Amino acid sequence: MANSKYEYVKAFEQPDILLPNTWIVVRIDGRGFHKLSDRYAFQKPNDRRALDLMNAAAVEVLKDLPDLAIAYGVSDEYSFVFHPTCELFERRGAKLVTTIVSTFTAHYIFLWSKYFVDTPLQSPHLPSFDGRAVMYPATQNLRDYMSWRQVDCHINNLYNTTFWMMVLRGGMSNTDAEEELKGTVSADKNEILFKRFGINYNNEEEVYKKGSVVYRQYQLEDSKTGSDSKAQSQADAQANASKTQQEKLRKLRRKAQVVVEHVDIIKDEFWERRPWILSGKPGKLPAEA
Amino acid sequence: MANSKYEYVKAFEQPDILLPNTWIVVRIDGRGFHKLSDRYAFQKPNDRRALDLMNAAAVEVLKDLPDLAIAYGVSDEYSFVFHPTCELFERRGAKLVTTIVSTFTAHYIFLWSKYFVDTPLQSPHLPSFDGRAVMYPATQNLRDYMSWRQVDCHINNLYNTTFWMMVLRGGMSNTDAEEELKGTVSADKNEILFKRFGINYNNEEEVYKKGSVVYRQYQLEDSKTGSDSKAQSQADAQANASKTQQEKLRKLRRKAQVVVEHVDIIKDEFWERRPWILSGKPGKLPAEA
Amino acid sequence: MANSKYEYVKAFEQPDILLPNTWIVVRIDGRGFHKLSDRYAFQKPNDRRALDLMNAAAVEVLKDLPDLAIAYGVSDEYSFVFHPTCELFERRGAKLVTTIVSTFTAHYIFLWSKYFVDTPLQSPHLPSFDGRAVMYPATQNLRDYMSWRQVDCHINNLYNTTFWMMVLRGGMSNTDAEEELKGTVSADKNEILFKRFGINYNNEEEVYKKGSVVYRQYQLEDSKTGSDSKAQSQADAQANASKTQQEKLRKLRRKAQVVVEHVDIIKDEFWERRPWILSGKPGKLPAEA
Amino acid sequence: MANSKYEYVKAFEQPDILLPNTWIVVRIDGRGFHKLSDRYAFQKPNDRRALDLMNAAAVEVLKDLPDLAIAYGVSDEYSFVFHPTCELFERRGAKLVTTIVSTFTAHYIFLWSKYFVDTPLQSPHLPSFDGRAVMYPATQNLRDYMSWRQVDCHINNLYNTTFWMMVLRGGMSNTDAEEELKGTVSADKNEILFKRFGINYNNEEEVYKKGSVVYRQYQLEDSKTGSDSKAQSQADAQANASKTQQEKLRKLRRKAQVVVEHVDIIKDEFWERRPWILSGKPGKLPAEA
């Protein structure tokens, strides 16, 4: 074939298979969203339209990729999680990351006008996202990763809420507000919010305080169930599942509703009542579905 | 800080710096475009709207990323090339690939309605792309990579043109056409096209036969110049360029017009007359610019 | 400094940190030992001197590197295992592998004359070893790896024992023996050994049938203890251990005796009675020590 | 087969093929040689026996691996260089590094008693080495790497020579000598050597000042030859060489004598007169050979 002379260049492509039996987290981040939020006049400290758009795009990604176990979003970032038994794209790192980044971007652009009704996109200033994959060997590592992001959400939101109250309602300059907040702890910020602006941070909307969890919904289970050991054995079971069985599981997952919630994912309860997330095995579809 | 307990999970992120002084090619491919081209009724063997849309999105990517030296597109794939001296994102592989994939996707979705005027996108069936980065140590390897893609373009287009003529005009079934073409060489296909359908393949449009090259335009140079050795020393020069100088080069590149051409990139002439592509050093802006 | 002009080449060194919280197995293999065993007239099917030398070298490696949890050897290969909490050399892959390969080689050469009293080494035909590191995320994966090697030991030893009996005692040619053994199962080989040569395979020496396990000896524990869950929590504890504590653990490990045994490591009992191996936490030193 | 249940663990082994068409440098370093040189009473500032032993071991490595193009040693480190066309072990990184480390170690231990006649090795305090592989895409990068090591040799040797003169002959304490040398430049050290101890540094032995270059000797060529462009085309030629041809080249290399020299490898002359090193193509065997 005429092409054989050049085909040797394929040998330069290097494999990037992610280690088997590890959780894979693909985290994507908005590129230059600080500037972008100015251009499109995002509301401060949180723009509900922007968050709803992020969540809507994430829901589409989960629908498109039944292998995804769960996702968590805050601000302009989203973390998508594949189960250790996932074999999608033979676990090729670049393929997994780019597929998620591209699918997310496509829906984000497509849905923009639905959420920003009066603010059309202006080319070339289009939103885009970068991403990376990280492996976590143990379920505890994955849980700690999720907790890390949710604690970060809390810390940033408390800071931003206080900062923007001081600026927008308190009439302070950005610099002065920043200066005053330097070195403060959570209690200080709560007090500023309450004393100066009559705001009880606890009453802020959950979507801002907790971020957004996206996953497939099945029948919730009694939280007493010790999920961990069970999860493990189920995971093992699936690891040995044939390709046919894996296809069957994929179909079951496609039937489940993808939901968005703003709840605590640091404590055990969330995971114990939704054991299918850590086990990688679909739960029971709700009776009403 | 409250988050410190969980922050250890950051240690699981592994570096993915691409080897210095190598050409970086980011190739993106349409995900499931066979099915997608059916859904949106792409014309066979080539849909000019689809190719123009690909090219328009690629132009935006080059405008957005002045570090890109050149890009080459054919069908639903596009290869974006960074020079060996490129230091964008500290050469982090995932960051480079996802930024290109996401920016391309954003513009592709955004521009869709301009090129497919009567065929609106139907969610969730949105186009998306995956991608990967490959390193090429020598300029000859990069040249051979580009040649590989352009030869592939030719081979596929000759096949597709013949196949679809046999089916659409010749009234053959897909299977029969496929069967007849099995084992044929170029001359055979040229003859089928000419004898049965009066088509001289050489007269087909260049965009189909050659694919699309996208790059920054400066004043073309006399092709006698031996570009290679010169390119090398210039590249060396830039490798030692300070950050300030690199920023200056970036600005020069932003000023250049990004053009799309359908020309031979296998022979030396293309590269010799546009030495800035391989040298990584901006050329002279055209007098009229 | 005069060297700064060239020091940029250091940037080409790429990091190779192994993923945290994974078991690290460094497996080394004799280079060209088939030929080497001919040159130095190793006895067939097993040369006890060669195996004792392998084990002696492995013991020295474990003494030299207190971070090693366990090792398993068979024929001319040895697997050295680091615990998921291991931070030796910041988990740099090449450093871990080469240190083990070099230390093992040094002792193997140094000790050769002790085990091959009448067969001096002939330069340049010196024994050498290559090696590689593999990560295993779950303890079950590590256990399965160890089982894989021990089952392999059994399969190969049964084959080799039968083959060499047929050749050495049965007077068959290598080819004929090979041909007859093709497609046979274990029962067939056992029968050949017993019927033709009066050999009960079960009575063969354990070192040949089971290979060699090398580890640090503490007081054996009652096998009823469920080791796994305990191991996990201990491992977690150590993961958070300070550098001072880790140094203390290292000293404790140096005090323990390194032993070589030829026992089953597939069943749970071995691991349950020696929980320090999987937990990564030193056990109690024997009273008599 | 009984082993199939466990064999899945092989899937955890990850490929580590080094990028094609790059120079591969395997640098090995003595482990804890500071302490080791005390234990075996190495002479200061340089122990000729130790260096000769390093060189003898390196020669054996080059003889064992005809694919090696050149090596350079200084103090307790040695850099071994494979040509970009090298396909040894399919360019698997761990295999290349460990093979060199182990072969070097084996010969170092084996030859010890020849060079340290009155100083036997004391187990477990055996010398060992770690190592790593680095890729260099361009010949200039490789040249700069070699220059980096030789400049380092010079800097360290000048420092060490001065320091040890001040201590051994000048009667200063280590701390005082170190303190006085802090911030000095080469001229200062040359002056101390000359004024206080009557030593002209230029007259020191070349092996100490230049380190040791090890390579295959063919007929030296006239240095006027522009080697670079030629080297490149030869390299290209070999890249396309069939396996048979590569085997033939390997045989030619085995016939060449491996020599050790203490010469400048920073300037062009060394490389121009020995074009086979950079070209990867064997030169002509000397008439007398």
What is the C-alpha to C-alpha distance for residues C65 and C69, in angstroms, rounded to an integer? 9
Higher-pLDDT residue of A234 and A45 is: A45
SS (H, E, C) chain D: CHHHHCHHHHHHCCCCECCCCCEEEEEEEECCHHHHHHHCCCCCCCCHHHHHHHHHHHHHHHHHCCCEEEEEEECCEEEEEECCCCCHHHHEHHHHHHHHHHHHHHHHHHHHHHHCCCCCCCCCCCCCEEEEEEEECCHHHHHHHHHHHHHHHHHHHHHHHHHHHHHHHCCCCHHHHHHHHCCCCHHHHHHHHHHHHCCCHHHCCHHHHHCEEEEEECCCCCCCCCHHHHHHHHHHHHHCCCHHHHHHHHHHHHHCEEEEECCCCCCHHHHHHCHHHHHCCCCCCCCCC
Confidence of residue A8 (pLDDT cuts 50, 70, 90): very high
Confidence of residue C289 (pLDDT cuts 50, 70, 90): very low
Measured between beta carbons, the chain A residues lying within 8 angstroms of C137 are 19-22, 84, 137-138
Whether the per-residue pLDDT at A210 is higher than 90: the answer is yes
What pLDDT, in 10s, does the model give residues A134-144? 999 999 999 99
Distance between B103 CA and the closest CA of chain D, angstroms:
28
**Least CB–CB distance from A11: residue in D11, D15, D20:** D20
What is the C-alpha to C-alpha distance for residues A101 and B128, in angstroms, rounded to an integer? 9
Query: Mean pLDDT throughout A51-80?
Result: 98
What is the C-alpha to C-alpha distance for residues B223 and A51, in angstroms, rounded to an integer? 54
Q: How many CB atoms lie within 10 A of CB A253?
A: 22
What pLDDT, in 10s, does the model give residues C141-184? 999 999 999 999 999 999 999 999 999 999 999 999 999 999 99
What is the C-alpha to C-alpha distance for residues C230 and C235, in angstroms, rounded to an integer? 9
C29 labeled binding residue? yes
Beta bridge partners of B28: B78, B131
CA C237 to chain centre: 27
**Least CB–CB distance from A106: residue in B94, B103, B109:** B109
* Neighbour-count burial for C62-74, b at 16+ CB within 10 Å, e otherwise: bbbbbbbbbbbbb
Would the CB atoms of A138 and C137 count as touching at under 8 Å? yes
What is the C-alpha to C-alpha distance for residues B43 and B46, in angstroms, rounded to an integer? 6
Please tell me which residue of chain A has the smallest CA distance to D90.
Answer: A11
B131 labeled binding residue? no
Mean pLDDT for all residues in chain D = 93
Whether the per-residue pLDDT at D243 is higher than 80: the answer is no
Residue B33 to residues B38, B75, B221, D21, D80, Cα–Cα distance (Å):
8, 10, 39, 34, 48
Residue C250 to residues C101, C256, C280, Cα–Cα distance (Å):
21, 10, 11
Would the CB atoms of C137 and A236 count as touching at under 8 Å? no
Whether the per-residue pLDDT at A289 is higher than 60: the answer is no
Would the CB atoms of C9 and D102 count as touching at under 8 Å? no
D288, amino acid identity = E
- Subunits next to C (3 or more Cβ pairs <8 Å) are A, B, D
Mean pLDDT for all residues in chain C = 93
Interface test with C, best of B17, B85, B238 (most C CBs within 10 A): B17
pTM of the model: 0.94
Would the CB atoms of D17 and A14 count as touching at under 8 Å? yes
| CB-based contacts of A78, cutoff 8 Å, min separation 6 | A27, A28, A54, A58, A71, A72, A104
Confidence of residue A224 (pLDDT cuts 50, 70, 90): low
Would the CB atoms of A135 and C19 count as touching at under 8 Å? yes
Distance between D17 CA and the closest CA of chain A, angstroms:
8
Would the CB atoms of B21 and D236 count as touching at under 8 Å? no
- Torsion angle of the four alpha carbons A173, A175, A177, A180, in this order, in degrees rounded to the nearest 10: -140
Measured between beta carbons, the chain C residues lying within 8 angstroms of D8 are 144
Phi-psi region of C39 (alpha: psi -120 to 50; beta: other; left: phi over 0): alpha
| CB-based contacts of B14, cutoff 8 Å, min separation 6 | A134, A135, C15, C17, C19
**Least CB–CB distance from B106: residue in A103, A128, A144:** A128
Whether the per-residue pLDDT at A212 is higher than 90: the answer is yes
Q: What is the pLDDT of residue A241?
A: 63
- Of A196-200, D226-230, D242-246, the least confident: D226-230
Measured between beta carbons, the chain A residues lying within 8 angstroms of C141 are 21
- Subunits next to B (3 or more Cβ pairs <8 Å) are A, C, D
Residue of C221, C235, C203 lying closest to C284 (CA atoms) = C221
Confidence of residue D233 (pLDDT cuts 50, 70, 90): very low
Would the CB atoms of B138 and D137 count as touching at under 8 Å? yes
SS (H, E, C) C114-167: HHCCCCCCCCCCCCCEEEEEEEECCHHHHHHHHHHHHHHHHHHHHHHHHHHHHH
B101 SS3 class: helix
For C175-211, the DSSP string reads: HHHHHHHTT--HHHHHHHHHHHH---GGGS-HHHHH-
Residue B209 to residues B75, B142, C200, C206, D245, Cα–Cα distance (Å):
11, 21, 74, 70, 38
| CB-based contacts of A254, cutoff 8 Å, min separation 6 | A63, A66
Distance between C22 CA and the closest CA of chain D, angstroms:
11
| CB-based contacts of C109, cutoff 8 Å, min separation 6 | C121, C126, C127, D105, D106, D109, D110
Whether the per-residue pLDDT at D137 is higher than 80: the answer is yes
Confidence of residue C245 (pLDDT cuts 50, 70, 90): confident
Confidence of residue A246 (pLDDT cuts 50, 70, 90): confident
Beta bridge partners of B77: B29, B74
Distance between A138 CA and the closest CA of chain D, angstroms:
16
Distance between D19 CA and the closest CA of chain A, angstroms:
6
Confidence of residue C238 (pLDDT cuts 50, 70, 90): very low
**Contact indicator for D215, D70 with CB cutoff of 8 Å:** yes
**Contact indicator for A65, A18 with CB cutoff of 8 Å:** no
Q: What is the pLDDT of residue B227?
A: 46
Measured between beta carbons, the chain A residues lying within 8 angstroms of B151 are 2-3, 6
Residue of B123, B131, B66 lying closest to B105 (CA atoms) = B131
Distance between A22 CA and the closest CA of chain C, angstroms:
7
| Percentage above 90 pLDDT, chain D | 85
Whether the per-residue pLDDT at D200 is higher than 80: the answer is yes
Distance between B143 CA and the closest CA of chain C, angstroms:
23
Residue B238 has phi, psi (to 5 degrees) of -70, -35
Chain C interface with B: residues with Cβ < 8 Å: 11-12, 14-15, 17, 19-21
Measured between beta carbons, the chain D residues lying within 8 angstroms of B19 are 19, 22, 135, 137
Hunting for tokens 């990184």 — which residue is that?
A: D93
Would the CB atoms of D19 and A11 count as touching at under 8 Å? no
Q: For chain A, which domains are there? A: 16-145+205-221+240-277 (3.30.70.3000)
Beta bridge partners of D216: D258
Beta bridge partners of B212: B73
Measured between beta carbons, the chain B residues lying within 8 angstroms of D141 are 21
Dmax over CA atoms of chain A, in Å, equals 78
* Residue ranges, chain B, pLDDT below 50: 1, 226-235, 237-238, 289
Retrieve residue C217's tokens: 């000896």
Query: Mean pLDDT throughout A239-246?
Result: 71
Would the CB atoms of B9 and A109 count as touching at under 8 Å? no
Q: Do the bridges between strand A77-82 and strand A68-74 make them parallel or antiparallel, or are there none, so unpaired?
A: antiparallel
What is the C-alpha to C-alpha distance for residues B71 and B155, in angstroms, rounded to an integer? 20
Whether the per-residue pLDDT at A238 is higher than 50: the answer is no
What is the C-alpha to C-alpha distance for residues C100 and A227, in angstroms, rounded to an integer? 40
What pLDDT, in 10s, does the model give residues C177-233? 999 999 999 999 999 999 999 999 999 999 999 999 999 999 999 876 544 444 444
What pLDDT, in 10s, does the model give residues A34-65? 999 999 999 999 999 999 999 999 999 999 99
Residue B119 has phi, psi (to 5 degrees) of -130, 80
The ipTM (two decimal places) reads 0.94
Whether the per-residue pLDDT at A215 is higher than 80: the answer is yes
Residue A259 to residues A62, A63, A213, A255, D242, Cα–Cα distance (Å):
10, 10, 8, 12, 59
Would the CB atoms of C21 and A141 count as touching at under 8 Å? yes
